[in-house]
Amino acid sequence: MSDSSSDDEALPNWDALSGDLGCAALAALKEHFASKDTGDGEGHTPPLTVPPVAWAAGPVEVTSNLDYKHQTYWEQRFAVEDEYEWLASFKQAEPHLSAVLPDKTARLLVVGCGNSSFSEELFDAGWVNVTSIDFSAVVIDRMRAKNVEARPCMKWEVMDMRSLEGFGDGSFDCVVDKAAMDALMCDEGSPWDPSEGTKRDAHLMCLACARVLVPGGRLVMISFAQPHFRRRYLEGFAAPAEVAAADGVVEAYGWRVTAAKGFGEPGCLETFLYACTVCDAVDPKGVGAAAEGSSEGSCAPSGGSD
Ligand SMILES: C[S@@+](CC[C@H](N)C(=O)[O-])C[C@H]1O[C@@H](n2cnc3c(N)ncnc32)[C@H](O)[C@@H]1O
């Protein structure tokens, strides 16, 4: 478990600054502090570890980044906050999503949906089969009530994304995560040497997502995490026995990472999109999906940091 380390104490109060500075200035300041990181001592790019606090100026006081892991924090926040969009708007993400999710009839599961309009906008853009979950009952009740008349076909369920216990195996064609696994990373500690709690939760979430996906199905993840930090979780690094076959198929989850690319507004911090495609009998190594991903310029971040 990570706690308030002396490194954290040396950082500015991003939360306070985020209200005062423009996006570009804040990003520049964060880069400045990230560049003070000595990295892993092997010449790799130091992490742009942005405390989630920086983007989350919400109505409930955040005392520590660990708050983002606690259900009670989210329940309190959603009780007083109507809507908040993390990382990227649907409009920004849509072209990238369409590339990895061309089938609008696909059964979509949005995990950690929060009070973002992302699920509703997916639905309005034609992905008509959308189920959204969150472990906050407050937000799920609110989202269900908000959409019961306008979008009665949308489904909303209270559930933990680390188990997805309410869904059977192979229930979905695609799982969509926007800043949800990011919330599990709040106790990561050093991204070079993550805490056991973070590794366990990330692994459980990957297992659950892989289980509810059909063969050929896809996890699509939008995250603040750069590929050299997030990709390894998707590649089984947190599995109890780290097993990634040489051909790229991740044994623990039965998928391969088929896209990892950056996108975002110029001058602001980059956002990343990942896709993991579950192998099936037709394409047991996921090679077709990987080729499809690479034709999108994927498997490398646009910023060239991996
Ligand atoms: C950073 S917010 C992202 C919200 C939304 N997806 C967006 O992009 O604006 C993280 C969300 O994940 C939810 N969450 C955190 N841990 C969870 C868990 N174990 N199971 C389900 N939801 C969780 C929180 O309640 C919160 O709504």
pLDDT score, position 247: 72
Question: Of 18, 46, 80, which marks where a domain is finished?
Answer: 80
Domain that holds residue 120: 90-294
pTM: 0.78
For residue range 232-285, what is the model confidence (pLDDT) as tens digits? 999 988 887 755 555 788 889 999 999 998 987 665 678 999 999 998 866 666
Number of Cβ within 10 Å of residue 260's Cβ equals 24
- Asked if residue 304 is part of any domain, the answer here is no
- Asked if residue 96 is part of any domain, the answer here is yes
Question: Per the structure, how many domains does the chain have?
Answer: 2
Q: Are residues 34 and 114 in the same domain?
A: no
Q: Are residues 267 and 197 in the same domain?
A: yes
pLDDT at 6 over 70: no
Q: Is the CB of 113 under 6 A from ligand 1?
A: yes
Q: Are residues 261 and 128 in the same domain?
A: yes
Ligand 1 mean position to 104 CA, how many Å?
Answer: 24
pLDDT at 138 over 60: yes
Question: Of 61, 80, 99, which marks where a domain is finished?
Answer: 80
- The side-by-side arrangement of strands in the sheet containing 271-278 is 155-158, 130-134, 108-111, 172-178, 213-223, 271-278, 255-263
Terminal-to-terminal C-alpha distance of the chain: 27
Q: Are residues 103 and 242 in the same domain?
A: yes
Instruction: Report the length, in residues, of the chain.
Output: 306
User: Position 12: which residue type?
Assistant: P
For residue range 186-238, what is the model confidence (pLDDT) as tens digits? 877 788 888 899 999 999 999 999 999 999 999 999 999 999 999 999 998 88
Do the beta carbons of residue 147 and residue 141 sit within 8 Å? no
Q: Is the CB of 185 under 6 A from ligand 1?
A: no
Comparing 109 with 54, the larger pLDDT belongs to 109
Q: Is the CB of 178 under 6 A from ligand 1?
A: yes
* Mean residue pLDDT across the chain: 77
For residue range 140-197, what is the model confidence (pLDDT) as tens digits? 999 999 999 999 999 999 999 999 999 999 999 999 999 999 999 887 778 888 889 9
Band of the pLDDT at 52, cuts 50, 70, 90? Answer: very low
Ligand 1 mean position to 18 CA, how many Å?
Answer: 21
- Which run of H or of E encompasses 34? helix 23-34
